[in-house]
Amino acid sequence: MLTLDNPALLKQACYLAGNWSAADDGRTFAVHNPATGALLAELPYMGAAEAGRAIAAAEAALPGWRARSAKERAQLLRRWHDLMLANQQDLARIMTAEQGKPLAESQGEIAYAAGFIEWFAEEARRIDGDVLQHPQADKRIMVLKQPVGVCAAITPWNFPAAMITRKAGAALAAGCTMVVKPASLTPLTALALAELAGQAGIPAGVFSVMTGGADAIGTEFATNPTVRKLSFTGSTAVGAKLLAQCAGTIKKVSMELGGNAPFIVFDDADLDAAVDGLMASKFRNTGQTCVCANRVLVQDGIYDAFATRLAARMAELKVGNGMEEGVNQGPLINDEAVSKVEAHIIDALGKGATLLVGGKRHARGGTYFEPTLLGDVTADMLVAREETFGPLAPLFRFTTEADAIHMANDTEFGLASYFYSRDIGRIFRVAEALEYGMVGINVGAFSNEVGPFGGIKQSGLGREGSKYGLDDYLELKYLCLGGI
Ligand code: ADP
């Protein structure tokens, strides 16, 4: 049983146009705890009709929301942020129950998620236009920044709160309204956030959350002409499909898609710091983040020393139910996720990799998996090409800096990358050569509300968080004023 201080945060309905609603046909789907298999809730299985109405409600709410002063919008966002922090423990319990991540990580994610709302509340008041010099003396050019309009968002299960607030914070601050469809595996955190948005006084229709059929709702979001922007975080395959669907009505899009992050350790690195960084990058959320190190590239001279130290640290990881004290590796989200990790290990071992730590399902059963370290991994193995999304660290050996850069960039993805070096010249050379939207240099984690998060190549379009994140929710309008 999930025990909460405020049981009203555990919802069994969707938040549309300020009301808690069921699906038109009364259909539901079940949400389970990945650690125990326990049933957590039955939620509405909505489809295109309900999505259409949610979009219409967002359209109806738009003129009022857009017309409020930036200060008023900022105050409401700030109240939402405060309520998230006031309910941090309950939100974290809900998140761990539906997602599996250790409770401490869930608490951290709630603070991180609230941080986006706070940040955009602050940024809301600095959406300033511009006055430019016209080439003719009797005219002036003014540039206004106006909200894009009705926005829709589709979010994944690995960060059930932060992937929503990173989008909704920017949208609402800019004066847009938004309908969100969270992942069906982790909708309860999203619905709890909607409850708090209502309590904060954010008006009906400005922020709605609906659950149900991903295909039907996604298609409605992407094709309904009222929606002016779609923001998606998830797999590259689904992102590409939504992008194609959005083409019909020329929508703005933000896409945060898959990655294949290289983590490069050069001979001159501080080895202990590099091991710490890898542990943080690889094993957060049991390896289920799009910025997790996927390929660990280690230079010849320190390869053995690095492998030995890393293996020792991995032996300290504690696998278990995220609600238990001291656990830092929860279950994987579902069986499919376990199968992918297994497939990557079997493929690599079959092609000559060596097993250094772990390698199989955990003795606890369910979707628990042993933190796994593979050595002598090469470019022809699946793990070199695909995102594992699990607790598997594959070590690749390289000789020169040029080799490392070539190997790191040899992928269609370009989200996160990391490297460890203490040579200032190398730091600039490598940072500039990596074809990635984000580069962690001597750090294993860099996500926060201030830095621009996003990828290049097939990892996405647009940036979230940061002062740049608002731009994706604003249109420029050019006014040309004559007769001066
Ligand atoms: P992940 O690998 O994170 O599960 P997905 O792309 O499958 O990535 O899921 C991310 C989000 O996209 C989830 O909210 C999921 O329900 C949604 N989704 C999955 N398939 C579709 C689809 N065909 N159209 C729209 N949304 C989808």
Per-residue pLDDT averaged across 399-428, rounded?
98
Distance CA 84, CA 73 (A): 17
Yes or no: say if 391 and 327 are a contact pair by the CB < 8 Å rule.
no
pLDDT over 80 at 453, yes or no: yes
**Structure-block tokens of residue 19:** 């009301």
Show Cβ contacts of residue 432 under 8 Å, excluding neighbours closer than 6 positions. Answer: none
Q: State whether the Cα torsion 294-300-301-305 is positive or negative.
A: positive
Yes or no: say if 278 and 371 are a contact pair by the CB < 8 Å rule.
no
Show Cβ contacts of residue 399 under 8 Å, excluding neighbours closer than 6 positions. Answer: 299, 300
Is 212 near ligand 1, meaning CB less than 6 Å away?
no
Phi, psi of 445 (to 5 degrees): -150, 135
Phi, psi of 98 (to 5 degrees): -95, -25
Is 183 near ligand 1, meaning CB less than 6 Å away?
yes
pLDDT digits (tens, 9 = 90+) for 47-86: 999 999 999 999 999 999 999 999 999 999 999 999 999 9
CA-closest candidate to residue 464, choices 182, 130, 153, 44: 153
Yes or no: say if 14 and 210 are a contact pair by the CB < 8 Å rule.
yes
* Distance (Å) of CA 218 to CA 18, 180, 243, 406, 459: 21, 10, 11, 37, 19
Give the pLDDT band (50/70/90) at residue 404. very high
* Distance (Å) of CA 43 to CA 40, 50, 210: 10, 14, 10
Side-chain half-sphere CA neighbours of 350 within 13 A = 10
Give the single-character DSSP code of 46: B
Strand spans (E) along 48-89: none
Catalytic positions are 256
Is 155 near ligand 1, meaning CB less than 6 Å away?
yes
User: How many Å from the N-terminal Cα to the C-terminal Cα in the chain?
Assistant: 71
In angstroms and rounded to an integer, the radius of gyration of the C-alpha atoms of the chain is: 23
Give the pLDDT band (50/70/90) at residue 307. very high
CA 119 to chain centre: 17
pLDDT at 168 (0 to 100): 98
For the entire predicted model, the pTM comes to 0.97
- The best mutation among 45, 46, 181, 238 to test binding of ligand 1, ranked by most ligand atoms within 8 Å of the C-beta, falls on 238
Distance CA 474, CA 484 (A): 29
**CATH 3.40.309.10 occupies which residues in the chain?**
262-441
CA-closest candidate to residue 442, choices 466, 424, 454: 424
CA-closest candidate to residue 267, choices 305, 293, 312: 305
Is 223 near ligand 1, meaning CB less than 6 Å away?
no
Is 152 near ligand 1, meaning CB less than 6 Å away?
no
Yes or no: say if 141 and 92 are a contact pair by the CB < 8 Å rule.
no
Question: What's the whole-number average pLDDT of the chain?
Answer: 98
Q: State whether the Cα torsion 336-342-343-344 is positive or negative.
A: positive
Fold of 7-257+459-478: Aldehyde Dehydrogenase; Chain A, domain 1 (3.40.605)
Return the amino acid letter for 348: A
- Indicate the Cα dihedral angle 220, 48, 191, 474, nearest 10°: 20
Yes or no: say if 50 and 159 are a contact pair by the CB < 8 Å rule.
no
Nearest atom (ligand 1) to Cα of 184: 16
> How far is the centre of ligand 1, averaged over its atoms, from the C-alpha of 234 (Å)?
6
- Locate tokens 């939620």: which residue? 43
> How far is the centre of ligand 1, averaged over its atoms, from the C-alpha of 217 (Å)?
11
Helix (H) or strand (E) holding 206: none
Pairing of strands 177-181, 150-154: parallel
Is 215 near ligand 1, meaning CB less than 6 Å away?
yes
pLDDT over 90 at 107, yes or no: yes
CA-closest candidate to residue 270, choices 438, 439, 448, 427: 427
CA 95 to chain centre: 14
Nearest atom (ligand 1) to Cα of 156: 10
Distance CA 395, CA 384 (A): 10
> How far is the centre of ligand 1, averaged over its atoms, from the C-alpha of 379 (Å)?
28
Give me the residues paired with residue 82 across strands. none
Show Cβ contacts of residue 351 under 8 Å, excluding neighbours closer than 6 positions. Answer: 378, 380, 381
CA-closest candidate to residue 290, choices 326, 243, 339, 239: 239
pLDDT at 1 (0 to 100): 72
Closest CA to ligand 1's atom 22: 215
Is 214 near ligand 1, meaning CB less than 6 Å away?
yes
> How far is the centre of ligand 1, averaged over its atoms, from the C-alpha of 448 (Å)?
24
Buried b (16+ CB within 10 A) or exposed e, 275-305: bbbbbbbbbbbbbbbbbbbbbbbbbeebbee
**CATH 3.40.605.10 occupies which residues in the chain?**
7-257+459-478
3-state secondary structure of 125: coil
- Locate tokens 């080439």: which residue? 135
> How far is the centre of ligand 1, averaged over its atoms, from the C-alpha of 152 (Å)?
14
Per-residue pLDDT averaged across 437-458, rounded?
98
Q: Where are the alpha helices (DSSP H) in 87-235?
A: 88-99, 103-124, 162-174, 187-200, 214-223
pLDDT over 90 at 25, yes or no: yes
Phi, psi of 198 (to 5 degrees): -65, -45
Is 433 near ligand 1, meaning CB less than 6 Å away?
no
Fold of 262-441: Aldehyde Dehydrogenase; Chain A, domain 2 (3.40.309)
Closest CA to ligand 1's atom 13: 183
